[in-house]
Amino acid sequence: MARVKARVICTGDVSGEVLFTDKPLLIYTGIDPASGNVVERGHPLNGQSVAGRVLVFPEAKGSTVGSWTLLQLKKNGVAPLAIVNQLCEPIVATGAIMARIPCVDKVDIAPLRDCQRVTIAADDVIFNEN
């Protein structure tokens, strides 16, 4: 069991399954707010749903309207359970706080694996070592 310290952007205690990408993620126009599916063309997560997953990605990219998209995902019941970033930027930081999605950053995301179970408890990220 590994336990690493993160920086808290929006605090929360949750446990769930990872949806992992090492590519920056486009939020506005990149995730469908109705379904939660990643729709960005050519993105490795294309076609997968962020709903209920611990969404792990290095950082967001694109329009700051993405903050409102996170809020829409939450209202539609298809928001990620939590967000783990390498380095959080304003789209996700403000969006996660508005939508109350637990969010941490300053974590080396490389050891995390898709579908792995992860627990986030305030500034602790806890997962099984591979």
Partner 1 sequence: MRSMAKVDANEAMSRMLAGESGAGTQVAAEMIAALAKIYGAEGYVPIVSAQIAGVSYKNIGEAGIEFLESMRKGGARTRARATLNPCGLDLEAWRELGFQEQFYKDQARALDAYRGLGIEMTCSCTPYLIGNAPGLGDHVAWSESSALSYANSVLGARTNREGGPSALAAAITGYTGNYGLHLDENRVPSVHVHVTCPVETYQDFGSLGLMLGKKLGQSVSIITGLQPGRCTPERLRQLGASMAASGAVALYHVAGATPEAGAYTGKVASGEIPTRLVEVASIDDVSDVVPAGLAEGQPMAVDLVFVGCPHASKGEALDLLGALEGRELKADVWIAMARDVKRELIQDAAFAKAMSPRVKLVADTCIVVCPIDDLGYSSVATNSGKAYFYLKNNPRLAVAHRDTAACLDAAVTGIAINKDRGEA
| Interface ranges with partner 1 (CB under 8 A) | 7, 9-10, 28, 33, 64-65, 67-68, 71-72, 74-76, 87-91, 93-95, 97-98, 105
Taking the complex as a whole, the smallest distance from the CB of residue 17 to partner 1 amounts, in Å, to 24
Give the separation between CA 129 and CA 90, rounded to whole angstroms: 30
Nearer to partner 1, 38 or 69 (CB): 69
Nearer to partner 1, 109 or 127 (CB): 109
Taking the complex as a whole, the smallest distance from the CB of residue 38 to partner 1 amounts, in Å, to 18
Give the separation between CA 123 and CA 128, rounded to whole angstroms: 17
Q: Say if residues 71 and 99 touch (Cβ distance below 8 Å).
A: yes
Nearest CA-CA partner of 63 in 6, 25, 109: 25
Taking the complex as a whole, the smallest distance from the CB of residue 93 to partner 1 amounts, in Å, to 5
Taking the complex as a whole, the smallest distance from the CB of residue 1 to partner 1 amounts, in Å, to 28
- What does residue 94 show for φ and ψ, rounded to 5 degrees? -75, -35
Residue 49 is among the residues annotated as catalytic for this protein: no
Candidate list 15, 35, 49, 63, residue with the active-site label: 63
Nearer to partner 1, 98 or 116 (CB): 98
> How is residue 9 written in tokens?
């952007």
DSSP 53: S
Nearer to partner 1, 125 or 127 (CB): 125
Give the separation between CA 66 and CA 64, rounded to whole angstroms: 5
Instruction: Give the residue numbers annotated as catalytic, written as ranges.
Output: 63
